[in-house]
Each structure stands twice: as C-alpha cells, then as structure tokens.
Amino acid sequence: MTDCVRYAPMIGAREGELKSEERTGLAEHLDGCAACRARAAAQRATAGLVSEALLAQANRRDFGPFVDGVMARIERRRSPRGILARLRAAVVHHPRITFGAALAPVVAALAILVYVRTAHDEVARVLELNSEGVDMVVQTSDGPLVLIDDEPEGT
C-alpha cells in the first residue's frame, strides 16, 4: 500500500516527466500490483475518450466560412476607394497629421517667397558661380574680384 501511495501519482505521467529510477520502480510496481494496473488502464481509457470527444467536437465545427470571412475582409481592405473618400477618411482619422501635411507646402512656399524677396533686396551682394576654374572671389565694396588659378586643367 505504501508503494501504491508512492507510485499511483506517477501513473499516466507523460514521456520525460519521470526520472529513470522512478520509471523503473513504477514498472516493477505495476507488475506486482493489480490495483495500480487497473488505475493505469482506467486512465488510458479516460484519456482516449477525452481525445476522441475533442476530435469529434472539432470535426463538427465547419471552418469553411471562417476562411471565406477572412478572405472577404482582406479583399474589402484592398478594394480601391475614390481619392475623395480616402481624403475624407484621412481627415477624420488623422486630423492633426492631415492639417500638418496641408500646411507644409504653404509654409515652404512662404519661405521661398521670403527668401526670394530678401535675395532681391540684397542682389548686389549675390554671387553665383557655376564654373570650373574659378579659384577665389574676393567681395569688395566696389564689386567682386574674381581670381582664377594659374594652371588650368587640359591646357
């Protein structure tokens, strides 16, 4: 009986749950204990019944509409909408981002306008060089002084 108290909880243990000596001891105990063999048989029968019952329940469930439902949702998301509808949705869902995005080109245009006006006011100081060979430009109050290098390339 003492052995039954020790080994009964081990009946039905899964692979790897028992140590080697526990597994050997359980086998030896089952060989000599009819009560524990009966317990083991009952557990196996119960486990089989539960497994079968779960499988039967899963089989009764029809997963066909599930897949169709998922695919339908994906298609709905992919379906193109009009630009106005998307714009409206963006404004509704992300009003701050939309406002910022709309404001950015206006700010950029204003910045360019201010820059151009400022540049025009100081046009006498503007110097544009799009050349090769110009080494140095000395700005003086009398006008620019442009110097070139002494050894031009290719000559």
Question: Where in 102-131 is the site for other proteins (CB under 8 A)?
Answer: 120, 123-124, 126-131
Number of residues near other proteins (by CB under 8 A): 29
Cα 27 to chain center, whole Å?
A: 51
Please say which residue, 5 or 126, places its beta carbon nearer to other proteins.
Answer: 126
Query: Is 38 one of the binding residues for other proteins (CB under 8 A)?
Result: no
Cβ neighbors of 97 (< 8 A, separation 6 or more) are 90
The span from the CA of 145 to the CA of 19, in Å, is 95
Write the secondary structure of 7-54 as one string of H (helix), E (strand) and C (coil): HHHHCCCCCCCCCHHHHHHHHHHHHHCHHHHHHHHHHHHHHHHHHHHH
Site for other proteins in 127-146 (CB under 8 A): 127-134, 137-138, 140-146
Least distance in angstroms from the C-beta of 109 to other proteins: 15
Closer CB to other proteins, residue 52 or residue 149?
149
Alpha-carbon dihedral 19, 25, 28, 33, rounded to 10 degrees: -120
Minimum separation from the CB atom of position 92 to other proteins (A): 23
**Nearer to other proteins (CB atom), residue 71 or residue 114:** 114
Residue ranges in contact with other proteins by CB under 8 A: 120, 123-124, 126-134, 137-138, 140-152, 154-155
